[in-house]
Amino acid sequence: MINAGPLEKSTATTARPTRAFKLPDQLFLHILLIVILFFMLLPFIWMVGTALKPDADATPTSLSGTEKNIGTLVSLFWPREFHWENFVKAWNGKYSANVPDVSFFDAPFTRYFFNTIIVGVAETVGVLFTSIMAAYAFARMEFWGKGILFGFILATLAIPHEATYIPNLVIISQLGQIASWLGTNSYTALFLPWLGSAFYIFLLRQFFMALPQELYEAAQLDGISELGFLGRIAIPLSMPAVLTVGLFAFLGNWNAFLWPLIAAPNIPVVQTGLRTFVGNADVQTEWNLLMAAATIVILPIIILYFVVQRRFIEGVSRTGIK
């Protein structure tokens, strides 16, 4: 609407005046977008600002009621003094003031990160393995019942994860009867149910199907086996899709919350660990530490995001992963 442009003028005159008119349009557009963007990113600015504040400014209890001054707008976001040690405190757990210093390896957040990364790597590798194999078979191989089996996979797409939690909990605890490392409160329990993914199979299959048939025939003439073709030709050529799936699998695990909470409460991961900073009533919550913890949880993803943002956005806009 803003950029509709003064057509009447541009038809009457040369290109020069038109460009002179277009510039303010773009300028207004940028101003508008920057303002919208600022409000969109406000929570993050507030988060980091609060994380760096001294206890007295950040926690609600210490803003004394006798003080009529509620502070300036700037003081809301910009800390009076910068307390970087809040991040260390948060890393060492909520009540670090009362607790003797812990070594880095015993610190709560070290454990959360360790647990999350272990499970994340296992899940990513596992789900990539099962999905690539199945996707390849559905894309390139002929076999009996292919249509029916693929229909089954598509049908499971409609099943929300949440709906499977209780039955899966029962299954996991039954597996625990067989071997404790399979049961609840084991690392395996955190990723085992998510090792098969209809969506990733579907996605990778699209990519494998797009590979030229000649390539496949040539490989067969050379006597390369299916597995060899998959490993040496199909996967390298579909690397963007494979990496996108891996990225989203790992991120999905990083953001997992409810399943770790119910399946393995004794193995805190980053999201469930973050929860320990939230008290039941606001007074018990130390805002600056809570925000520091939230920053610690979010920061790795943001760094990862900026490193691979192109693939990230491409992956989302092409596949619609939600």
Partner 1 sequence: MASVSKPITKPPETGPLQTDAAFKRRKKLKNSLKAYLFIAPAMLFLFFFNFFPIIYAIFLSLYQRISVVKGVIPPAENFAGFANYTRLLTDPDWWNAFFNTIGYVFGSVFFGLVVALGIALLLDKVKKGKEFYRVAFFLPYVTSLVAVATVWYIIFSPYASNALVKPNPDRPGGLVNWVFAAAGIPMQRWLIDDRGIFTIIFANGGKVDWLSGLIRLLVVAALIIVAVVAYRRLNHTLGVWVSAIVGAIALLVGWTVIVELAHLFPWTGWAGGPSIAMVAITVVAVWYSLGFNIILLLAGLTNISRELYDAARIDGARGWSMLISMTIPLLSPTLFFLLIVNTISAFQAFTLFFAILPSGPTRSVQVLSTFYYEVTFKRGSGTDTAGFGYSSTIVVFMLLLIVGINQLQQRILAKRVNYD
Q: Which of residues 34-63 bind partner 1 (CB under 8 A)?
A: 36-37, 40-44, 46-47, 50, 60-61, 63
Virtual torsion, Cα 251, 253, 255, 258, nearest 10 deg = 160
Measured over the CA atoms of residue 244, residue 246, residue 247 and residue 249, the dihedral's sign is: positive
Amino acid occupying residue 155 = A
Among 56, 215, 239, 278, binds partner 1 (CB under 8 A): 278
Q: Which residues contact 80 (CB under 8 A, 6 or more apart)?
A: 53, 54, 57
Output 105 or 306, the one with its CB closest to partner 1. 306
CB contact at 8 A, 274 and 209: no
Closest CA to 116 of 225, 321, 270: 270
What separation in angstroms does the CA of 132 have from each of 225, 243, 287, 318?
16, 12, 44, 19
Among 90, 107, 119, 153, binds partner 1 (CB under 8 A): 153
210 binds partner 1 (CB under 8 A): no
239 binds partner 1 (CB under 8 A): no
Among 122, 224, 243, 262, binds partner 1 (CB under 8 A): 262
CB 74 → partner 1: shortest distance, Å? 12
CB 101 → partner 1: shortest distance, Å? 26
Closest CA to 169 of 197, 194, 196, 193: 193
Among 95, 114, 181, 257, binds partner 1 (CB under 8 A): 257
Among 181, 209, 220, 239, binds partner 1 (CB under 8 A): 220
Among 13, 17, 19, 21, binds partner 1 (CB under 8 A): 21
302 binds partner 1 (CB under 8 A): yes
